[in-house]
Amino acid sequence: MSRTVRGAAATAILCLTLTACGGGSPTGAGAGAPAAPDPLDSLSTEELLEQARAEGTVSVYSFTSRIAAVEAEFERTYPGIDVVATDISSTEQIARIKAEAAAGSPGADVAYLSDAPVVLDELLDEGLLRNYVPPRVADALPAEFREPLLASRLSTKTLMFNEEAHPDGPPVQNLWELTDPEWNGRVVMVDPQIRGDYLDLMTEIVLRSEEMGAAHEALRGVPVELDEGIESAGEQWIADLYANGVVLVGDTDSVNAAVGARGQQDPPVGFTTYSDRRDNSEENRALQAATEVAPAPGIAFPAMIGLSPDAANPAAARLLVDFLMGDDSETGGTWFEPFYVPGDYPTRDDVTPPAEALPLAELGTWTIDPGASAGVRRDVADLLLTLG
């Protein structure tokens, strides 16, 4: 930490010069032409810090309450810059950012949220958020996590089973098995009609129809037969799953409890968050991820960070984004610590994922492409509606 402060002191003069000639009124420039690169975008962490000190504060909307830990750590690292954090869900952030834009009222400087397809479609494309990739970490980020909007980590919705009841490994090797009578009424997930990440899971399965078709042939030896009104193998799988009495609940914790509770004779399987496994001992559960499921056990999706185009504290906002991406150590250090949990995956390729969980490649999930999802998401939602 002191390294950063010393660095800041050393570049103070340079910063002052830059402030005077280039970054004087970034707000106006950013608001007028959202696509135009902001001079602040290319500043180093130290240069940002100098200007951020002058701003003295930064506000952030976050979809996770772990932002409280980030706030404390940030204020310890950069004394004199106050973080004002509001913890609200992605859905509510989207509604709020739109309403604030309609009112012309400045909202938070930074938005940290999931629901990527909606965010890209309704906030980024409408100019209500803008992308900023901290130069310090840009090279460590694969292109899909730099554009169109910065992603800091991946979370999952993947097939999990009860390892107490199935000590020899996952009871399912192919997603199509879930549509067999054996699993009738014994597959649990959150209703994709009320939770965006589950809709993303269904959408990805439709987008991967080719692989779904291949998996069907591998299991049954015949190609998928499409029902009337069904257009792809992915859609057919969803229709079959619903016809097979999939159990829909209201939140992930209900899935975890149904699948993971110890002492069950014949527990169901379900789609839920891999990192929830860390609560196994606390909650007396035996949740385990089903790996080697054809064609894939589920999805990984990004948590994204965007800037308000009219950020009142543009430098401090960028400094916070830089901070949220983790420090230069192998684990992202204390900056990233709240998000460094087994089963969540940092997007930076120079940060080693926590050892207690399987590497993402072994977990085998599909990583969603929010841009492609946005295009078909509504159709999938409509299909789900017809299935009830």
Partner 1 sequence: MSTTSPGLLGRTVADPVGRLGLAVSAVLAVLVVTPMVGLVASTLRPTGREAWSDVLTGRLSTSLFWEPLGNSLLVGAVTAAGSVLLGGGLAWLVVMTDAPWRKTIALLATVPFALPSFALALAWETVFRNDLVGGRAGVLADLGVAVPDWIAWGPVPVAATLIAHYFSLSFLLAAAALATVNGELMEAAEMTGATRLQVARSITLPVVTPALVSGALLAFAEGVSNFASPALLGLPVRFQTLSTRLYGAITTGQVERGYVLALLLVGVAATILFASNRIVSGRRSFATIGGKGGRRAVIRLGRSRGPLTALAFALCLSTSVLPGLILLASSFARRTNSFTGGFTTHFWVGESDPSIAQGQRGVLLDPLIIDATLTTVGLGLSVAVGATLLGTAVGYVVVRLRGLAPVTGSLTLLSYLPFLIPGIALGAAFIAQFGRPIGPVPALYGTFALLVIAGIAATLPFAAQAGRSAIGQISRDVEEAAVVAGAGLARRGGRIVLPLASRGLLAGASLVFVNIVRDLSLMVLLVTPALPLLSVLTYRYASEGFAQFANAVTVLIVLLSVGATVLARRLEGPNQPWREAAS
Q: Which is nearer to partner 1, 123 or 289 (CB)?
A: 123
**Which position among 117, 170, 297, 302 is part of the footprint of partner 1 (CB under 8 A)?**
117
| Residue 103 lies near partner 1 (rule: CB under 8 A) | yes
Is the C-alpha dihedral spanning 324, 325, 329, 332 positive or negative? positive
- Cβ pair 364, 298 in contact under 8 A: no
Question: Which residues are CB-neighbours of 376 under 8 A, at least 6 positions away?
Answer: 203, 206, 207
Quote the least distance from Cβ 37 to partner 1, whole Å: 29
Q: Which is nearer to partner 1, 195 or 348 (CB)?
A: 195
Alpha helices in 273-313 (DSSP H): 280-283
| Residue 191 lies near partner 1 (rule: CB under 8 A) | yes
For the window 218-257, what string marks contact with partner 1 as x by the rule CB under 8 A?
-----------------------------xxxx-xxx--x
| Residue 372 lies near partner 1 (rule: CB under 8 A) | no
Nearest-angstrom CA–CA distance, 58 and 74: 11
Choices 9-17, 65-73, 145-153, 356-364; region in contact with partner 1 by CB under 8 A: 65-73
Nearest-angstrom CA–CA distance, 142 and 379: 29
- Run of H or E including 236: helix 233-243
Nearest-angstrom CA–CA distance, 377 and 108: 28
Binding to partner 1 (CB under 8 A): which residues in 277-296? Answer: 279, 282-284
Which region holds residue 129: left if phi is over 0, alpha if psi is between -120 and 50, else beta? beta
Binding to partner 1 (CB under 8 A): which residues in 169-188? Answer: 185-186, 188
Nearest-angstrom CA–CA distance, 213 and 76: 53
Q: Which is nearer to partner 1, 158 or 272 (CB)?
A: 272
Nearest-angstrom CA–CA distance, 128 and 98: 7
Cis ω for the linkage preceding 295 (within 30 of 0): yes
Quote the least distance from Cβ 250 to partner 1, whole Å: 4
Q: Which is nearer to partner 1, 42 or 386 (CB)?
A: 386
Choices 113-121, 208-216, 323-331, 358-366; region in contact with partner 1 by CB under 8 A: 113-121
CB atoms within 10 A of CB 70: 24
Q: Which is nearer to partner 1, 4 or 254 (CB)?
A: 254
**Which position among 5, 140, 261, 376 is part of the footprint of partner 1 (CB under 8 A)?**
261
Quote the least distance from Cβ 380 to partner 1, whole Å: 10
Choices 30-38, 40-48, 125-133, 191-199; region in contact with partner 1 by CB under 8 A: 191-199
Which region holds residue 367: left if phi is over 0, alpha if psi is between -120 and 50, else beta? beta
- Cβ pair 97, 72 in contact under 8 A: no
- The contact set with partner 1 (CB under 8 A) reads 64-66, 69, 84-89, 91-92, 94-96, 98-100, 102-105, 115, 117-118, 121-122, 185-186, 188, 191-196, 199, 247-250, 252-254, 257-259, 261, 264, 267-268, 270, 276, 279, 282-284, 338, 377-378, 381-382, 385-388
